[in-house]
Amino acid sequence: MDLFEDIDREEVERMLRCAHASERVRAAGDYIFRQGETPRMIFMLTEGEAALVKDFASGRRNLLYTVKQGDVFGEAFLFSGKIRYWYDAVAMKDSKVLEIPWDFFYGFCKNACAHHQMITRNLLGILAGRNFSMTKKLHLLSSASLKEKLAIYFLENADREGRVAMDMNRENFADFLGVARPSLSRELMNMQKEGLIGVEKDRVTINNREALEYFY
């Protein structure tokens, strides 16, 4: 769901002025926000690509999820009462980020209108969708073996032809699964040798769905 779904462009621009929102340019590698900082904004990626990551003192990085153009992020802190970010948001490519102050969502301004209520409804829909996505990831990460994790991921993300578009590079995919990259590469090779999947640069094809479903 888009934050501005069912709201015309002119009204969106009016609301953003009312909210004192601003769009910022972020170069690849720049932090949009850092863990430990105080949340005050909801963010929407208007151009580029970003990621929400949890970095550890050991140097290990856990990729929570990637952020694509049009995605909203940082919204989990709006109603949660958390006073500090516990993960980082990083621009993966040169990007543009719309920043909307929380105050706009907490109450209606003097120009309160149906569109303001619609954007709040859309935000609640985004929150619900994010919660479902994180529940699915929890199911994936709770699997005992890396093969089980991969089987679940491929089954959840395959199209009707059994093809999975890989929008993460191998390093980011390993971070997403919480495993070392060499372990990931080795398991993908093993699954390919077993005839379970076919691996290409930016796509995985399920060759034996019944066998993968055994791990689901």
Q: Which residues of 7-34 are buried (b: 16+ CB within 10 A; e: fewer)?
A: beeebeebbbeebebeeeebeeebebbe
Q: Residues spanned by CATH 1.10.10.10 within the chain?
A: 144-213
Q: Enumerate the β-bridge partners of residue 44.
A: 72, 98
pLDDT at 168: 87
pLDDT higher than threshold 90 for residue 11: no
Q: What are the E-state strand segments in 27-75?
A: 31-33, 41-47, 50-55, 61-67, 72-73
pLDDT higher than threshold 90 for residue 112: no
pLDDT in tens, 49-80: 999 998 876 777 888 888 999 898 988 777 66
Q: Measured between alpha carbons, how far is 7 from 163 in angstroms, rounded to an integer?
A: 34
* CATH (residue range 144-213): 1.10.10.10
Q: Roughly how many angstroms between the first and final C-alpha of the chain, as a whole number?
A: 27
∠ CA(216), CA(177), CA(209), 5° rounding?
Answer: 30
Q: Enumerate the β-bridge partners of residue 94.
A: none
pLDDT in tens, 133-160: 665 666 666 667 899 889 888 988 899 8
Homologous superfamily (CATH) of 9-140 is: Jelly Rolls (2.60.120.10)
pTM of the model: 0.65
pLDDT in tens, 14-30: 888 888 899 999 999 99
pLDDT at 27: 97
Residue 43 in 3-state DSSP? strand
Among 35-44, 94-103, 116-125, 145-154, whose mean pLDDT is lowest? 116-125
Q: Residues spanned by CATH 2.60.120.10 within the chain?
A: 9-140
Position 110, amino acid: K
